[in-house]
């Protein structure tokens, strides 16, 4: 192995490693970190999607297989090489000025912690010193952040989708980012060792508008007021509203990737927005079906009551209303089944047609 660079010249090397994982990620992370050497010359920052109220034992699990120090990140602490920092549940993990930030900013793609938020903060603060890694998982959190890493000169590593337990997240990343390395999980550790011993590329030319937007998004993730920061003016205002808070959505373009942010700060890729909207529609349809079924039950009971009271004309009226509401409930149920199919399949339609 090459001689490790001294701490005094670490900025001359790629010395920031950010990793994102979701479904299947715990096993993948255990496999990855167990072969990192004791003298690994960079800090490692990990976002693994977990439930907001679920206790995270990931640092404990990783500590059992790696010689590196592993811990949940604490807000404001200075980070150090050879330490693995894991995002806390329901908090974004961000990097700024040599320290980790742990904040409850708005969710991105329905997640907090967000892989995109971590990757963007690393790209904004450390540019070509960053190595971004996307591992197994559903949906597409990490795609936008990886694009930012590459846009600001960092290196991008994506687990080969054929090697991933859940291929969606790496496959989505590759759809929008021409990754520098697409490798199976077993090769990523050695690749990271090699890349951290290389000098970063020259700083790319990035427009002031792009940097300003990244800076605003970092502030939003830190829980600053998105409306006052003017996020709505940084893109193209749409007629859509945020599924989370019903705020106005503005459209942002990153290469081929379309994203949306609302004026309160929630962020979505197009596919995440579609998934959230269709889920809301499904909920409304179930409410409509429930209401019609209640009407059916009530009018049926009233029809029975007036039949027993020897009032056939009134009974016939309620029985007819019961039949109508029952038929409408069946139609809504059929619409729900079609809506569920749309929600599950549409995000893959483009890939199937390629």
Distance CA 101, CA 39 (A): 25
Q: Is residue 17 a contact partner of residue 29, using CB atoms and an 8 Å limit?
A: no
113 preceded by cis ω (within 30°)?
yes
Whole-Å CA distances, 283 to 198, 247, 277, 329: 52, 19, 10, 14
Identify the active-site residue in 15, 116, 141, 163. 141
49 assigned to active site: yes
Q: Point out which residues pair with 157 in neighbouring strands.
A: 133, 181
169 in Cβ contact with 145 (< 8 Å): no
Q: How far apart are CA 185 and CA 155, in angstroms?
A: 17
Q: Considering 15, 22, 114, 266, which one is annotated as catalytic?
A: 22
CB of 81 closer than 8 Å to CB of 54 = no
252 - beta bridge partners? Answer: 259
Is residue 238 within 8 Å of 250, Cβ to Cβ?
yes
Token duo for residue 80: 């150090």
- The catalytic position among 49, 91, 266, 296 is 49
22 is catalytic: yes
Which tokens belong to 46? 């990990």
For residue 192 the two structure tokens come to 């990271």
Taking a C-beta distance cutoff of 8 angstroms, is the pair 234, 200 a contact? no
Question: What are the residue numbers of the active site?
Answer: 22, 49, 141
């Amino acid at each position: 192995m090459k001689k490790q660079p001294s701490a005094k010249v670490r900025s001359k090397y790629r010395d920031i490693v950010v990793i994102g994982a979701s479904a299947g990620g715990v096993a993948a992370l255990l496999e990855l970190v167990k072969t990192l050497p004791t003298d690994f010359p960079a800090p490692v920052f990990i976002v693994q999607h977990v439930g907001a109220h679920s206790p995270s034992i990931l640092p404990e699990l990783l500590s059992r297989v790696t010689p590196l120090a592993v811990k949940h990140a604490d807000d404001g602490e200075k980070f150090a090489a050879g330490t693995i920092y894991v995002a806390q549940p329901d908090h974004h993990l961000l990097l700024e000025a040599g320290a980790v930030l742990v904040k409850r900013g708005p969710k991105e793609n329905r997640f907090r912690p967000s892989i995109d938020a971590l990757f963007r903060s690393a790209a904004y603060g450390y540019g070509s010193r960053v190595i971004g890694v996307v591992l197994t998982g559903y949906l597409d959190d990490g795609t936008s952040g990886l694009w930012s890493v590459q846009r600001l000169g960092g290196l991008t590593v994506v687990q080969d989708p054929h090697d991933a337990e859940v291929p969606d997240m790496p496959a989505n990343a590759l759809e929008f980012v021409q990754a520098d390395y697409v490798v199976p999980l077993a090769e990523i550790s050695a690749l990271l060792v090699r890349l951290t011993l290389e000098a970063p590329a020259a700083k790319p030319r990035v427009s002031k508008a792009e940097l300003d937007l990244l800076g605003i998004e970092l502030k939003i993730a830190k829980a600053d007021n998105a409306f006052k920061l003017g996020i709505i003016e940084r893109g193209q205002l749409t007629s859509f509203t945020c599924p989370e808070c019903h705020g106005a959505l503005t459209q942002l373009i990153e290469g081929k990737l379309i994203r949306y942010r609302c004026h309160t700060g929630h962020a979505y890729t197009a596919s995440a927005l579609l998934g959230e909207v269709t889920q809301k529609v499904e909920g409304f349809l179930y409410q409509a079906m429930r209401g019609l079924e209640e009407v059916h039950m009530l009018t049926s009971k009233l029809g029975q009551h007036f039949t027993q009271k020897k009032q056939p004309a009134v009974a016939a009226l309620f029985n007819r209303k019961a039949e109508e509401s029952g038929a409408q409930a069946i139609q809504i149920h059929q619409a729900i089944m079609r809506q569920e199919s749309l929600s599950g399949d549409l995000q893959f339609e483009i890939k199937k047609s390629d």
